[in-house]
Amino acid sequence: MVYKTKITVKPLSLILSTAMSKISYSIKKKEGALIKDPVMLVKSYPKMHVTVDCAIFGFDDNELKVLLIRSDLEIYKDLWSLLGDNIADDEDIDAAAYRILKDRTGMQDVYLEQVKVFSKPDRHPGGRVITIAYCTLLNTRHHELMIHDNEIHWHSFSSIDEMAFDHKEILLASYQWLQKRIQEHPLGFNLLPEKFSLRELQTLYEAILGVTLDRRNFRKKFASMKLLIDTNEFEGDVPHRPGKLYKFNFEKYEKQKNRWTGIDF
Amino acid sequence: MVYKTKITVKPLSLILSTAMSKISYSIKKKEGALIKDPVMLVKSYPKMHVTVDCAIFGFDDNELKVLLIRSDLEIYKDLWSLLGDNIADDEDIDAAAYRILKDRTGMQDVYLEQVKVFSKPDRHPGGRVITIAYCTLLNTRHHELMIHDNEIHWHSFSSIDEMAFDHKEILLASYQWLQKRIQEHPLGFNLLPEKFSLRELQTLYEAILGVTLDRRNFRKKFASMKLLIDTNEFEGDVPHRPGKLYKFNFEKYEKQKNRWTGIDF
DNA sequence: TTCGTATCGTGTAAAGCATACACCTTTGTA
DNA sequence: TACAAAGGTGTATGCTTTACACGATACGAA
């Protein structure tokens, strides 16, 4: 079938730059003079609050899921939010995202990538806070949720309605990012158990891309990639003929990913 | 020829999350209690310096160019850096990027998109500063450089060696981002004059993608898109047979970009 | 004026890839 | 034992991509 991700690109838009004068380099006095003390320079810069928010996707029960917690702000009472936190003074932002994941799910070796910065001045009711959105994919079975005081839960992605802050917008951007990335790289395997049937794999792609795919062509495509290892084991617990279980050949993919050109459904 | 962008994806890597305890929400006292004052909560968060850096690409003389200024820090004497600035307290970050562009090049209606956040704690010698990288594309002929006290210059991309801060890394990330985006969307037209020959267009794609393309197939591909308007004018000032000049049909593209599936070289 | 050089402009055949499509097999359950 | 549910497989068709060459046009130099 004809299908490709449709990514909306920012138009060549007339975003009005707020009328304001230059605010930086005020420490610099003379034309052409070099600044000797970078620390003084940086101290003259304004500071702002920065957080990380993670859209944590899982796949279970043939559905795309997202891990959310209840907001602990009274004005967002009964609304859900992404998992987020501040960034420590000497912490790389990727490291902050990994830390959040580890604290909340116990998982360490996880797919994680930056999506986008969200910076509307009024996005947080407590003042100006910019946030860096991350997308992560994990197998819902392979971790233990760390239940803190906020209820942490897997939510069916399609059932999510209103959210706290601008987190609905962040979640949608992360989902579009995921739709695109899963066709560029074989990320889906991060959402599945180590051994999976081809039906599970296809259901995953169908759920994320929102399409239905022809079973024979889907199998042909993955067969031609030669990145699946046949385990010679079979599914159990299914009320029908069990399918074969496969593993993804991560090592082989790592070796040849320079030549990788994407999966095109 | 067989060619597709090769994007390096972040490996499922073992980035060690810095061992540290949770730092936020320290204002929250009781289990399950809701926070009434978001302003107090946000005030308890740490703050950091945030800047924007723009990788401004142009195309001239059959070459990809980048707009750079001399660093005004003594420790980076004689090194070049991207155009950047702080973000004002109530300024959206996209708006800050547009402002920088307008201040330095006088251009307002320009292609601009976020690339990535760079956040290594030691990336700035003056202290912890995170920066949000933007990529912009503009026609080198259509703007007036605002010469401030730093020399601002177009540099041939391929000739750039060392740069101030981590700007080389940012520039490379922006270039890879550009290589990928130019195959997903017809961005190249932002780098060309309004009217251009097919050879100029092909040279642009070849320069950005770093490949050579078959001329007949290239023309066939663009002809089949039906997004070029034949102006019935011809190049002048060329020491050979002049080619026809075309315009890009932006309106038609806007209408059908939902169905756009990319250009594949 | 002529020749050399650089680019313009064009078409086709072959290979490869994506698509559409159906039947028998295997397992579990009633 | 028969039914329900999914497993597993191949082929023909059309579309897309690729590889490839030659005459025409304009300019500049001799």
Name the β-bridge partners of A80.
A70, A163
Q: What is the mean pLDDT of residues B220-247?
A: 95
> Which regions of chain A does DSSP assign to beta strands (E)?
47-60, 63-70, 80-81, 83-86, 111-118, 129-137, 152-156, 196-197, 228-234, 244-248
d(CA A244, CA A234): 4
d(CA B154, CA B149): 16
- B235 lies in a domain? yes
**φ/ψ bin of B106: left (φ > 0), alpha (ψ from -120 to 50), beta (otherwise):** left
Determine the pLDDT at residue A22.
Answer: 38
Tell which residue, A135, A126, A85, A121, has the closest CA to residue B50.
A121
- Do A199 and A173 belong to one domain? no
Contact A44, A38 (CB under 8 A): no
**Domain endpoint, select from A184, A206, A237:** A184
Find the range with the poorest average confidence among A18-32, A210-224, B59-73: A18-32
- Do A179 and A62 belong to one domain? yes
Over residues B191-211, the pLDDT tens digits come to 999 999 999 999 999 999 999
Q: Is A48's CB within 8 Å of B48's CB?
A: yes
d(CA B122, CA B119): 8
Q: Which of A49, A103, A116 sits opposite B47 (nearest CB)?
A: A49
Residue A4 has pLDDT above 80, yes or no: no
Q: What is the mean pLDDT of residues B27-53?
A: 85
- Do A197 and A117 belong to one domain? no
- A78 lies in a domain? yes
Phi and psi at residue B144, in whole multiples of 5°? -110, 125
- A4 lies in a domain? no
Within a 10 A sphere around the Cβ of A11, how many other Cβ atoms? 11
- Do A100 and A49 belong to one domain? yes
**Domain endpoint, select from A153, A184, A215:** A184
Residues 170-209 of A with CB under 7 A from strand D: 197-199
Q: Six-digit token pair at A186?
A: 């074989």
Q: Is B259 within 7 A of strand D by CB distance? A: no
d(CA A145, CA A60): 15
Determine the pLDDT at residue B108.
Answer: 84
Q: What is the mean pLDDT of residues B171-187?
A: 97
Give chain A positions within 8 Å (CB) of B24.
51, 85-86
**Domain endpoint, select from B126, B159, B184:** B184
Residue A15 has pLDDT above 70, yes or no: no
- A107 lies in a domain? yes
d(CA A150, CA A70): 6
Tell which residue, B97, B70, B94, has the closest CA to residue B82.
B70
> Which residue's CA is nearest to the C1' of nucleotide D17?
B1
- Do A226 and A130 belong to one domain? no
Measuring from the CA of residue A197 to each C1' atom, give the nucleotide at the shortest distance.
D7
- Do A179 and A54 belong to one domain? yes
- Do A164 and A208 belong to one domain? no
- Do A46 and A126 belong to one domain? yes
Residue A57 has pLDDT above 80, yes or no: yes
Residue B80 has pLDDT above 90, yes or no: yes
Q: What is the mean pLDDT of residues A221-238?
A: 95
DSSP assignment letter at A127: S
- B137 lies in a domain? yes
Please tell me the number of Cα atoms within 13 Å of A184 on its side-chain side. 19
Find the range with the poorest average confidence among A45-49, A119-123, B106-110, B213-217: B106-110
* Secondary structure class of B39 (helix, strand, coil): helix
d(CA B211, CA B6): 13
pLDDT-derived band at B11 (thresholds 50, 70, 90) equals very low
Q: What is the mean pLDDT of residues B14-29?
A: 37
Residue B258 has pLDDT above 60, yes or no: yes
Determine the pLDDT at residue A106.
Answer: 85
**φ/ψ bin of A262: left (φ > 0), alpha (ψ from -120 to 50), beta (otherwise):** left
- Do A240 and A135 belong to one domain? no
Q: Is A51's CB within 8 Å of B45's CB?
A: yes
What range does the domain containing B215 cover? 192-259
- A139 lies in a domain? yes
* Secondary structure class of A83 (helix, strand, coil): strand
Percent above pLDDT 70 for chain B: 86
Residue B27 has pLDDT above 90, yes or no: no
- Do A123 and A55 belong to one domain? yes
| CATH code: domain of residue A138 | 3.90.79.10
Residue A204 has pLDDT above 90, yes or no: yes
d(CA A189, CA B176): 25
CA Rg value for chain B: 22
Within a 10 A sphere around the Cβ of B230, how many other Cβ atoms? 9
Indicate the number of domains in chain A.
2
d(CA B75, nearest CA chain A) in Å: 7
d(CA B88, CA A21): 10
- Give nucleotides in strand C with any atom < 7 A to a protein C-beta: 5-12, 18-22, 25-29
β-bridge pairing B47-60 and B129-137: parallel
Q: Which long-range contacts (CB under 8 A, 24 or more apart) does B13-20 make?
A: B14/A108, B14/A109, B15/A94, B15/A95, B15/A98, B16/A95, B17/A95, B17/A96, B17/A98, B17/A99, B17/A102, B17/A108, B18/A88, B18/A90, B18/A91, B18/A92, B18/A95, B18/A99, B20/A88, B20/A91, B20/A99
d(CA B237, nearest CA chain A) in Å: 31
d(CA B157, nearest CA chain A) in Å: 23
Q: What is the 3-state secondary structure (H, E, C) of A173-242?
A: HHHHHHHHHHHHCCCHHHHCCCCEEHHHHHHHHHHHHCCCCCHHHHHHHHHHHCCEEEEEEECCCCCCCC
- B136 lies in a domain? yes
Name the β-bridge partners of A133.
A53, A116
Measuring from the CA of residue A220 to each C1' atom, give the nucleotide at the shortest distance.
D9
* Secondary structure class of B43 (helix, strand, coil): helix
Q: Six-digit token pair at B188?
A: 């190249």
Give chain A positions within 8 Å (CB) of B103.
22
Q: What is the DSSP string of B123-161?
A: SSTTS-EEEEEEEEE--TTS------SS-EEEEEGGG--
Sheet holding A228-234, edge to edge: A196-197, A244-248, A228-234
d(CA A11, CA A15): 10
- A7 lies in a domain? no
Name the β-bridge partners of B81.
B69
- Do A174 and A46 belong to one domain? yes
Over residues B116-161, the pLDDT tens digits come to 999 999 999 999 999 999 999 999 887 777 666 578 899 999 999 9
Over residues A140-168, the pLDDT tens digits come to 887 777 666 578 999 999 999 999 999 99
Determine the pLDDT at residue A7.
Answer: 32
- Do A178 and A210 belong to one domain? no
Percent above pLDDT 90 for chain A: 76
Q: What is chain A's mean pLDDT, rounded? A: 87
Q: Which of A16, A48, A73 sits opposite B50 (nearest CB)?
A: A48
Tell which residue, B55, B52, B262, B80, has the closest CA to residue B175.
B55
- Write down the residue that tokens 């490291």 correspond to: A95
| CATH code: domain of residue A212 | 1.10.10.10
